[in-house]
Amino acid sequence: MFFSTLIDGLSLGAIYALIALGYTMVYGIAKMLNFAHGDIIMVGALTVYYSLSVENTVLSIILAVLLPVVICTVLGIVVEKTAYKPLRGASPLAVLITAIGISYLLQGIAQLKFVFGVTPETVTNFKIPGSIFGINWSTIVTLVVAAILMIALTVFVKKSKIGRAMVAVSEDRAAAQLMGINVNAIISLTFAIGSALAAAASIFYLMQIPQVSSTLGSMPGIKAFTAAVIGGIGSIPGAMLGGILLGIIEKIALSIPALAPYTVAIEFSLLILILLVKPSGLLGKKRNEKV
C-alpha cells in the first residue's frame, strides 16, 4: 500500500519536475516568472487530444507524442518574442502582469468554441496497458523518460557550449553579452527547452489524469512552481528534487483520509514556509543584496 503510494508520488513528482525545470530555467536566465508556463502544458494536452482523434492508430500515437513537443516549442518562442522581449529592462511587476495576461490569453483562445470550448473532455485509451510487479507501464515509462530527459538536460547545460552560455547569461547578462554571447537567442532557446519539457510533461500528465480542459494547466503549473521554489529556483537539480518531493507529499497526503481534503492547503503552506525560512530553497544559492 505504502509502496504503491510512493511509486504514484514518484511518477507525479517526475511530471512536476519536468514542468518545474521550465520555470527554473526561465527564472534563472530571463529573471522572470513565466506564468504562462502552465498553459503551455494545456496547449500540449489539447494537441494530444486532437492527435488521438486521428483514425489511424499508429499515426495518432506518433502524432500524440511528437506534435505537442513541436507546437509547444514554437509557442514558447513566439510568446517570448512577442510579449516578453519588448519588456526587457522594464519593471518586474510589468513583466509579471504581462505573463499573467499571456496565461489568460492562451486559456481564452482554448475556450473558443472552434478551438476547444469550455467543457472538459475525457481522453480515452491514452495509457500503456498492463502492469509489472503491480506498477503500471505508464508509470514506468513516465519515470524512465523523465529521468532520461533530466540527465540529458543536465549534460547539455554542463557540457555543451550553448549550455554554458546559458549559465553565463543567468549569472551576469551584461557580462555575457560582452563576451559575445547572443543573449536574445539564449533566452529564446531557454523558453524553447522549457516549453518542450512542458509538452513532455503534458503527455505524461494525460496518462495519469485523462481529462482535458482549458484550465488544465493552472494547477500543475502553480504546483510545479512550488516545486521549483522548494528545490531552489534557478537550480536544475533543485527543480528535480523539489518536484519529486512535492509529488510524494501530495500522494501521501491524499492517501490519508483526514488530510486528503486539505492537500492543496498543505502543499501551498509548504511553499510559504520554505519561502519564509529559506527563500533560496533546498539547493539554491543565496546572494546578497547589492545596489
* 217-276: contacts with another protein (CB under 8 A): 218, 222, 225-226, 229, 232-235, 261-262, 264-265, 268-269, 271-272, 275-276
Measuring CA to CA, which residue among 169, 195, 170 is closest to residue 68? Answer: 195
User: Least separation, in Å, of the C-beta of 173 and another protein?
Assistant: 5
Nearer to another protein, 58 or 178 (CB): 178
CA–CA dist 24, 239 (Å, integer)? 7
Applying the rule CB under 8 A, the residues between 185 and 214 that interact with another protein are 214
Q: What does the block give as the cell for 79?
A: 510568446
Residue 5: partners with Cβ closer than 8 Å, 6 or more residues away: 251, 252, 255
Binding mask 27-46 toward another protein (x if CB under 8 A, else -) reads xx--xxx-------------
Binding mask 47-76 toward another protein (x if CB under 8 A, else -) reads ------------------------------
CA–CA dist 248, 271 (Å, integer)? 15
CA–CA dist 146, 240 (Å, integer)? 10
Q: What does the block give as the cell for 30?
A: 530571463
Nearer to another protein, 55 or 289 (CB): 289
Q: Which residues are registered as beta bridge partners of 131? A: 136
Measuring CA to CA, which residue among 289, 173, 274 is closest to residue 229? Answer: 274
Number of residues that bind another protein (CB under 8 A): 72
User: Least separation, in Å, of the C-beta of 252 and another protein?
Assistant: 17
Q: Does 289 bind another protein (CB under 8 A)?
A: yes
User: Least separation, in Å, of the C-beta of 262 and another protein?
Assistant: 6
CA–CA dist 116, 107 (Å, integer)? 10
User: Least separation, in Å, of the C-beta of 184 and another protein?
Assistant: 9
